[in-house]
A = this chain, B = another copy of it.
């Protein structure tokens, strides 16, 4: 029973399924069949909509990136001098962005950037945007916005990395706490 306008629905389902499966597997070694099955369709249809496995992954990556960007946006402008900064940081550890599967998928897409021009490009764009967002947010809070932005970015990545490597449910509070403490020291 073909429904009209199935394409966006199917694509969204595939993207979600891809993120879930990659997150669950903890690697990009996920078959199109698995993804398609989880999305409730045949592998052939997945190919029909995305053309190739790579395109599915790239779409998933774009989705995560956009989703995170939206997450930040929703929190702006925030309150007070640190409003911007807090918005960015909190978004990184918001429940929908910091679930095990999401973080795991996120890091695996990071790895994809080592082998895919397009993935690398997506990541570069994201990094640049995060960086400039942080610069703006840190202005007036420190004399070294550049350096602090870099360190903060790296620290968030590191915390993500450790979050997935630690068994059990991810602890957003602990993660956030680490970041906040760092900021307190750095902005002292």
Does any Cβ of B come within 8 Å of A16's Cβ? no
Please give the count of copies of this chain that the complex contains: 4
Which single member of B25, B28, B154, B162 contacts A178 (CB below 8 Å)?
Answer: B154
Which residues 142-162 of A sit at the B interface, judged by CB distance below 8 A?
147, 150-151, 153-159, 161-162
Main secondary structure of the interface of A (DSSP, over half): helix
Whether the pair B182, A151 counts as a contact (CB closer than 8 A) is: yes
Whether the pair A115, B159 counts as a contact (CB closer than 8 A) is: no
* Interface size in chain A (residues, C-beta < 8 A): 37
Whether the pair A111, B27 counts as a contact (CB closer than 8 A) is: yes
Does any Cβ of B come within 8 Å of A114's Cβ? yes
A-B contact pairs, 16 of them (CB 8 A): A25-B115, A26-B115, A27-B111, A104-B114, A127-B165, A147-B178, A150-B178, A151-B155, A153-B162, A154-B155, A154-B178, A155-B158, A157-B157, A158-B159, A161-B161, A185-B188
The 6 A-B residue pairs with the shortest CB-CB distance, nearest first, are A26-B114, A158-B158, A154-B158, A157-B158, A185-B185, A154-B159
| A interface residues with partner B (beta carbon < 8 Å) | 25-29, 104, 107-108, 110-111, 113-115, 120, 123, 127, 147, 150-151, 153-159, 161-162, 164-165, 167, 178, 181-182, 185-186, 188
